[in-house]
C-alpha cells in the first residue's frame, strides 16, 4: 500500500510538470577575451553589446564597453586584471554603469563604483543612477545669483564664486590648489551645502590627510569623499568624476545646493590618454585623442543653478588642473579655461614670497560670481585689484635701486600691506564681515609699515572686535546693501581702536 501511494504521488507530480507551461528560454551572450592589457581588454563574440554597457568578467571584476568595432570590443576594466587571461568568458549585464546615490552616501568614503572604503559597513541607499547622463537644458537652468563663500579673502573679495558656477583652480605643483578646495568645503559648515570631494589619481596618504581635515573641521557628516587613487586602474580614475557628478545631481534634484571638487582633472586626462592609446585610438595634440575636450565638457556642463522643474538645487564645480612651469597655454589647461566660468590661478612666484593663498589676482578672473557677490565686498574688490596691480609694477621698478620719492614709497608700503592682508592660514575660513573689516583697514593704510607679526596680531584683534560687535556689518552684507561712507568710517574707527588696543597690550 505505501508503495502504491508513493507511485501515485510520483505520477501526479510528473503529470503536473508535463501540464505546466514550458519556462521561457533565457538568452545569454557569452564572449571571449581575445587580448588583455594594462587596464583594458579586447573582447570578441558580443555582437549586441552597447557603448558604456557593463560586462562581467567573473570574480567581481567588471568592465565598460569603450570601443565598438566590427568584430571586437575595446573594454576598460574597473579593477585588477590578474585573474583574466585570453580565452576567459565574458558576459553581458544588459545595464550601463551606475552608482548608488542619495543622502545615505553623506559622511562616507567610497570608490569609483560607489562601494564603501571606510569600513563602516554597507551604504544605506537603494537608488542608483547612471554615471553618464545628458546635461540639463538651457530652459532648466537659472542665473547664478547667490554667492558661495570660500572663507578666503583673496577669493571672496576679488574672484568670487557663485552657487552654480564652474570655477577652475589652476597652478603648478605644490602651490596650494587642494588646500583652497578643502578650505572651501570647510567653510560650508552649518550652511546646508552638501559637499563632494573627488580624488583622481591622488596618493592614499594625501586623500587620508584631506579626510582628516574634513573630520577635524566638522563637515565630514555632510560630505562624500570619492577616491580613485594612483594605485587603482586607469579605468577607475576615468569613471570617478562622472560617478561623483551623478551623486551631486541626485542631491541637487532633491533641492540641495552641492559643492563638488575634482582633484584633479590633469590625472583624469592622463588616465583617458592611457586608455585611448592602449585601445589604439589615434593620438593628437600632446598625444591626447581629439575628443579630450568633450570628455571634460560633458562632465562640467552638468553643473549649474537649476530651476524648480528639475529640483531647484545647484551644483558648484571646482575642478583642479595642474600646470608645468606656469604654462597656461598647454592643451588641457586651455581646454578647461574655455569650459569653465573663470579661473583661480595660483602663482609659484607668490609661493616663493610666502604669500598663501598664492592667488594671482592679475590672472585670476570670475566671469559669473561677481553678479552674486555682496555689493559691500564688490566695492572693496575694485580698489583692491588696482592697488595690487600698481604695487606690483612699482615693486619691479624698485628692484633696480632707483631713488624713490615719498609718494612712491608710500604706495609701495600700502601695496605691501594690502598683499599681506590677503594672507590667510590654512583651515581658517573667515566670515564676510571679518574679511570686509580687514581689507578696509588695509586699504585705509592702518597696516602700513607694520612688521608681519605685528600685522597678523592687529588683524586678529580686528577680527575679534568684529565678532564681539553688534553684527551690523554682517546684517548689511547679508541684506545685499552697499556700504556707505558712514558705514565705512565706522569700520575704520573700530579698526583703529582694535589695533591701538592690541598695540598697547603688547607694549605692556
CATH assignment at residue 458: 1.20.150.20
173 annotated ligand-binding residue: yes
172 annotated ligand-binding residue: yes
369 annotated ligand-binding residue: no
- The CATH number for 176's domain is 3.40.50.300
What is the tens place of the pLDDT at every residue in 25-61? 777 789 999 999 889 999 999 989 999 999 999 988 9
151 annotated ligand-binding residue: no
Q: 303 lies in a domain? A: yes
Nearest of 259, 354, 346, 247 to residue 305 by alpha carbon: 259
With a cut of 80, say whether residue 303 has pLDDT above it: yes
The number of domains in the chain is 3
Q: Are residues 413 and 303 in the same domain?
A: no
With a cut of 60, say whether residue 113 has pLDDT above it: yes
125 annotated ligand-binding residue: no
Q: 16 lies in a domain? A: no
Question: Please, which residues have CB within 8 angstroms of residue 200's CB and are 6 or more apart in sequence?
Answer: 228, 237, 240, 241, 262, 263, 264, 265, 267, 268, 271
Identify the pLDDT of residue 402.
Answer: 65
Identify the pLDDT of residue 4.
Answer: 62
What is the tens place of the pLDDT at every residue in 61-92? 999 999 998 889 999 999 988 888 999 999 99
242 within 8 A of 99, measured Cβ to Cβ: no
Task: Show which of 95, 119, 139 is a domain's final residue.
Answer: 95
Across 37-154, where does the E strand assignment appear? Answer: 40-44, 53-58, 61-68, 73-77, 89-96, 98-101, 109-110, 127-130
Exposure string for 303-337, b = 16+ CB within 10 A, e = fewer: bbbbeeebbbbbbbbbbbbbbeeeeeebebbebbb
Q: 12 lies in a domain? A: no
- How many CA atoms does the CB half-sphere of 295 hold within 13 Å? 22
Question: What number is the average pLDDT over the span 405-426?
Answer: 90
With a cut of 60, say whether residue 1 has pLDDT above it: no
Between these two residues, 505 and 360, which has the higher pLDDT value?
Answer: 360
Q: 406 lies in a domain? A: yes
- The residue assigned the cell 564652474 is 166
Q: Are residues 50 and 107 in the same domain?
A: no
Identify the pLDDT of residue 382.
Answer: 83
Q: Are residues 234 and 337 in the same domain?
A: yes
Task: Show which of 65, 95, 125 is a domain's final residue.
Answer: 95
pLDDT, mean over the chain: 91
Q: Are residues 185 and 284 in the same domain?
A: yes
Q: 289 lies in a domain? A: yes
Stated pTM of the model: 0.92
Q: Are residues 320 and 455 in the same domain?
A: no
Identify the pLDDT of residue 141.
Answer: 96
Q: Are residues 237 and 384 in the same domain?
A: no
204 annotated ligand-binding residue: no
Q: Are residues 135 and 278 in the same domain?
A: yes
Identify the pLDDT of residue 41.
Answer: 95
Residue 116 cell numbers, joined: 564603501
Which span out of 67-71, 255-259, 465-469 was modeled with the highest average pLDDT? 255-259
- The CATH number for 71's domain is 2.40.30.20
What is the tens place of the pLDDT at every residue in 351-398? 999 999 999 999 999 999 989 999 999 988 888 988 998 898 888 877
Q: Are residues 229 and 310 in the same domain?
A: yes
Q: Are residues 465 and 383 in the same domain?
A: yes
Q: 15 lies in a domain? A: no
Q: 56 lies in a domain? A: yes
Name the phi and psi angles at 142, rounded to 5: -130, 160
With a cut of 90, say whether residue 125 has pLDDT above it: no
What is the tens place of the pLDDT at every residue in 181-224? 999 999 999 999 999 999 999 999 999 999 999 999 999 999 99
Active site positions, annotated = 367
Question: Please, which residues have CB within 8 angstroms of residue 170's CB and are 6 or more apart in sequence?
Answer: 177, 320, 321, 322, 323, 328, 333, 336, 337, 343, 344, 345, 346
Question: What number is the average pLDDT over the span 155-160?
Answer: 94
Identify the pLDDT of residue 6.
Answer: 54
Q: Are residues 90 and 103 in the same domain?
A: no
First to last CA, the chain: 113
Domain range spanning residue 230?
99-372
198 within 8 A of 241, measured Cβ to Cβ: yes
Task: Show which of 316, 350, 372 is a domain's final residue.
Answer: 372
Q: Are residues 109 and 87 in the same domain?
A: no
Identify the pLDDT of residue 11.
Answer: 72
Q: 14 lies in a domain? A: no
Q: Are residues 53 and 160 in the same domain?
A: no
Amino acid at each position: 500500500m505505501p508503495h502504491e501511494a508513493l507511485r501515485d504521488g510520483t505520477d501526479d507530480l510528473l503529470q503536473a510538470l508535463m501540464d505546466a507551461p514550458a519556462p521561457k528560454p533565457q538568452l545569454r551572450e557569452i564572449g571571449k577575451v581575445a587580448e588583455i592589457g594594462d587596464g583594458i581588454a579586447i573582447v570578441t563574440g558580443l555582437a549586441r553589446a552597447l557603448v558604456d554597457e557593463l560586462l562581467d568578467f567573473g570574480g567581481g571584476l567588471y568592465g565598460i564597453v569603450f570601443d565598438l568595432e566590427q568584430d571586437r570590443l575595446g573594454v576598460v576594466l574597473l579593477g585588477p586584471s590578474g585573474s583574466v587571461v585570453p580565452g576567459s568568458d565574458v558576459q553581458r549585464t544588459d545595464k550601463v554603469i551606475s552608482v548608488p546615490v542619495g543622502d545615505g552616501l553623506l559622511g562616507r568614503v567610497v570608490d569609483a563604483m560607489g562601494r564603501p572604503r571606510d569600513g563602516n559597513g554597507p551604504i544605506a541607499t537603494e537608488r542608483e543612477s547612471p554615471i553618464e547622463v545628458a546635461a540639463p537644458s538651457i530652459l532648466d537652468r537659472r542665473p547664478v545669483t547667490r554667492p558661495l563663500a570660500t572663507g578666503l579673502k583673496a577669493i571672496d573679495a576679488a574672484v568670487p564664486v557663485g552657487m552654480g558656477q564652474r570655477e577652475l583652480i589652476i597652478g603648478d605643483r605644490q602651490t596650494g590648489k587642494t588646500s583652497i578646495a578643502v578650505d572651501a568645503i570647510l567653510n560650508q559648515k552649518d550652511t546646508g551645502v552638501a559637499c563632494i570631494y573627488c580624488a583622481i589619481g591622488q596618493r592614499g596618504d594625501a586623500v587620508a590627510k584631506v579626510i582628516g581635515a574634513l573630520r577635524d573641521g566638522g563637515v565630514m557628516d555632510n560630505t562624500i569623499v570619492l577616491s580613485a587613487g594612483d594605485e587603482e586602474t586607469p579605468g577607475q580614475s576615468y569613471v570617478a568624476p562622472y560617478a561623483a557628478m551623478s551623486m551631486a545631481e541626485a542631491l541637487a534634484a532633491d533641492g540641495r545646493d552641492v559643492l563638488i571638487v575634482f582633484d584633479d582633472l590633469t590625472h583624469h586626462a592622463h588616465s583617458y590618454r592611457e586608455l585611448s592609446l592602449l585601445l589604439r585610438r589615434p593620438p593628437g595634440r600632446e598625444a591626447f585623442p581629439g575628443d579630450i575636450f568633450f570628455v571634460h565638457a560633458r562632465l562640467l556642463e552638468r553643473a549649474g543653478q537649476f530651476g524648480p522643474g528639475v529640483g531647484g538645487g545647484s551644483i558648484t564645480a571646482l575642478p583642479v588642473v595642474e600646470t608645468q612651469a606656469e604654462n597656461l597655454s598647454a592643451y588641457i589647461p586651455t581646454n578647461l579655461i574655455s569650459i569653465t566660468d573663470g579661473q583661480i590661478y595660483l602663482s609659484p612666484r607668490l609661493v616663493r614670497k610666502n604669500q598663501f593663498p598664492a592667488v594671482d589676482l592679475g590672472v585670476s578672473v570670475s566671469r559669473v560670481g561677481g553678479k552674486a557677490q555682496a555689493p559691500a565686498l564688490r566695492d572693496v574688490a575694485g580698489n583692491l585689484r588696482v592697488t595690487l596691480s600698481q604695487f606690483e609694477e612699482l615693486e619691479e621698478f624698485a628692484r633696480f635701486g632707483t631713488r624713490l620719492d615719498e609718494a612712491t614709497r608710500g604706495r609701495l608700503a600700502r601695496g605691501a600691506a594690502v598683499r599681506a592682508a590677503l594672507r590667510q592660514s590654512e583651515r581658517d575660513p573667515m566670515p564676510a564681515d571679518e574679511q570686509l573689516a580687514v581689507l578696509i583697514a588695509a586699504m585705509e593704510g592702518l597696516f602700513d609699515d607694520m612688521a608681519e607679526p605685528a600685522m597678523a596680531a592687529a588683524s586678529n584683534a580686528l577680527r575679534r572686535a568684529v565678532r564681539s560687535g553688534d553684527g551690523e556689518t554682517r546684517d548689511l552684507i547679508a541684506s545685499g546693501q552697499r556700504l556707505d561712507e558712514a558705514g565705512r568710517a565706522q569700520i575704520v574707527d573700530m579698526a583703529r581702536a582694535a589695533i591701538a588696543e592690541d598695540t598697547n597690550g603688547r607694549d605692556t
